[in-house]
Copies of this chain bind each other. A is one copy, B any other.
Amino acid sequence: MEARDLETERTTARRRPERVSHDCAAVYAILDAAPCCHVGFVADGQPYVIPTIHARVDDRLYLHGSAASRTLRVLASGVPVCVTATLVDGLVLARSAFHHSMNYRSVVVLGTAFELTDDAARSAALAAIVERLVPGRWSHVRAPSAAELRATRVLALPIVEASAKVRRGGPIEDDADLGVPVWAGELPLRLLPGEPIPDARLDRGAVVPEHVRRLDARRF
């Protein structure tokens, strides 16, 4: 992994720089772990923030959606975009109201996306999105048809300007508050898979395959 620095004036931490990193390994790890991201763009002077799924391959973030989606159409026009991916890791319970907090990992990527036009590149990006969330699945499913590819817009956002911010651990606490008679600590939170629910039209007794069963150990 190259130790590329993604810091710019716009991604410099103004506060709590000890929680912020511009190392691309730190940025990539959070993008790869987050189940979804939030895409920010401006239309008619109004910011919009839309949740979507993504995949990172090398120094590109891939997004996709319906060719009819306004969000994708606006982003494809080359407007400035912000993609933020956040994992909630826990609640931080302090003795003072003031020091309550949340543990999290988040990444902010700033830049401009462009549309993939080559069908092989588009198909590879879609495969990366499916494979990131369900490793091993792509080879089992019917690949996109030409009509489905036409109905899908695929965008690439080069990751050149980004920052990662992480808070972990227990509460920061003023010494004067240590005697406050209340439990303090951290309540970890994790996004965990439940039991797979088979599709109603699946043959009875269809076995949950290995690539789905191992999602049970999926670490978000």
Using a CB–CB distance below 8 Å, which chain A residues touch chain B? Answer: 10, 14-15, 35-36, 38-42, 45-51, 53, 66, 68-70, 80-84, 86, 88, 90-91, 93-98, 100, 102, 104, 106, 108, 110, 126-127, 130, 133-134, 137-138, 140-145, 148, 152, 170-171, 173, 177-178, 180, 182-202, 206-209, 212, 215, 220
Contacts and interface: CB of A to CB of B under 8 A. Distances in A.
B201 A183 contact: no
Nearest to A105: B51
Nearest to A104: B51
Contact of A82 (B36, B48, B70): B48
| Main SS class of interface, A | mixed
Contact of A47 (B36, B47, B137): B47
Contact of A170 (B38, B90, B142, B199): B199
B170 A184 contact: no
